[in-house]
Amino acid sequence: FSQNITGVNWFMNYATQLFSSLGFQPFAWDLAMKSVFMLSTLVALCIIERFGRKFLAVWGTLLIILAFALGAIVIQATGVDIRNQNPSQETVAVQYFALSMIFFFQLVFAITWGPLGWLVPAEVFPLRLRGKGMSLAVVANMLTNIIVGDYGYVSFNSITSTQATMFLLAVLNCTIALTTVVCIQPETKGISLEDMRKVFGYEIGGNEIVNHGTMREFFHRNFKQTQATLLCRPVDPKVDIELRFPPA
């Protein structure tokens, strides 16, 4: 869900129309954008185990919000029509700035949310629920792709005359995604399948019999991990497991 509400599929599916409306050669720039996306995904393969899932999710979302916010601010502040096919020098500058923000978004997404949207669900479900859990994750992914990527952004873009609105909508959606990352997603780097249940060993009111913590403790742990991530400090989820489940 959070992966697709960033608007990535709108940019991927309608890139040629978008670049054409900005006055650029559509197919050449579309090929360039998708090449950036592919190469950036290879970068993710090299760093995801080093930096961790939480680090990439938090910083990736913040950078995406920054890119869309800057795009909206510049378009709104200058008041130019970026879809003008006979633009002034100022309009051309804003068009290139919007283009650079789109490419920056694609680069950051491919390193962070692109792989994380599939990796995290695949590793957090226990074996007995992994098939059903991943099925639900894929269904949610495809539904948000259709609703947001194919209809939501396209329909919203057609009914508004404010070109900055699309960037602002993406900022709002990414803020929702950031909330889920901060409050719900724990760091799972280096956690074995056997210990994964301990990472999510929390329930309403807690349960001392099975050593489950409370939901308040769950959110507090995740928030502390986010704080460490923002300060670029390492997050070791095994420390929390050892505190709650000390070795015999």
Whether residue 1 lies inside any domain: the answer is no
pLDDT surpasses 80 at 97: yes
* CA dist., res. 69 & res. 212, Å (int): 40
In a shared domain, residues 121 and 205: no
Residue 150 DSSP code: I
Question: Between these two residues, 22 and 109, which has the higher pLDDT value?
Answer: 109
**What is the arithmetic mean of pLDDT over 212-217?**
91
pLDDT in tens, 98-109: 889 999 999 999
| 41 token code pair | 């995904």
What is the tens place of the pLDDT at every residue in 127-175? 888 888 889 888 888 887 777 766 655 555 554 444 677 788 888 888 9
pLDDT value at residue 214: 92
Does pLDDT of 124 surpass 60?
yes
The sign of the CA dihedral 108, 111, 115, 121 is: negative
Kindly state the average pLDDT of the residues 82-92: 76
> How far is the first Cα of the chain from the last one, in angstroms, to the nearest whole number?
40
The CA–CA distances, whole Å, from 43 to 47, 59, 78, 113, 198 equal 7, 15, 35, 13, 30
Which pLDDT does position 43 carry in this prediction? 93
150 with 104, same domain: the answer is yes
Model confidence pLDDT, tens digit, residues 32-59: 999 999 999 999 989 999 999 999 999 9
- Please tell me whether residues 89 and 198 are part of one structural domain: no
pLDDT at 161: 47
Same-domain status, 139 and 218: no
* Any domain includes 21: yes
Mean pLDDT over 217-235 rounds to 93
Same domain, 179 and 205: no
Domain boundary among 136, 157, 183: 183
Average pLDDT, the chain: 85
Same domain, 199 and 110: no
Judge whether 3 lies within some domain. no
Q: What is the tally of structural domains in the chain?
A: 2
- Residue 159 has what pLDDT? 45
Do 172 and 219 belong together in one domain?
no
Asked if 127 and 206 sit in the same domain, the reply is no
Place 188 in a pLDDT band, splitting at 50, 70 and 90.
very high
Angle at 150 between CA 110 and CA 58, to 5 degrees: 30
Position 138 in a domain: yes
Domain with residue 110: its CATH number is: 1.20.1250.20
Three-state DSSP at 213 gives: strand
Range(s) of the domain holding residue 174: 8-183
Quick one: 205 and 156 in the same domain? no
pTM of the model: 0.88
CB-CB contact of 85 with 9 (8 Å): no
**Whether residues 23 and 118 fall in one domain:** yes
Lowest mean pLDDT among 4-18, 126-140, 222-236: 4-18
Rounded to an integer, the average pLDDT of 3-20 is 78
Task: Assess whether 155 and 202 both reside in one domain.
Answer: no
| DSSP string covering 116-138 | HHHHHHHHHS-HHHHHHHHHHHH
The pLDDT score that the predictor gives to residue 143 is 83
Predicted local confidence at residue 224, as pLDDT: 94
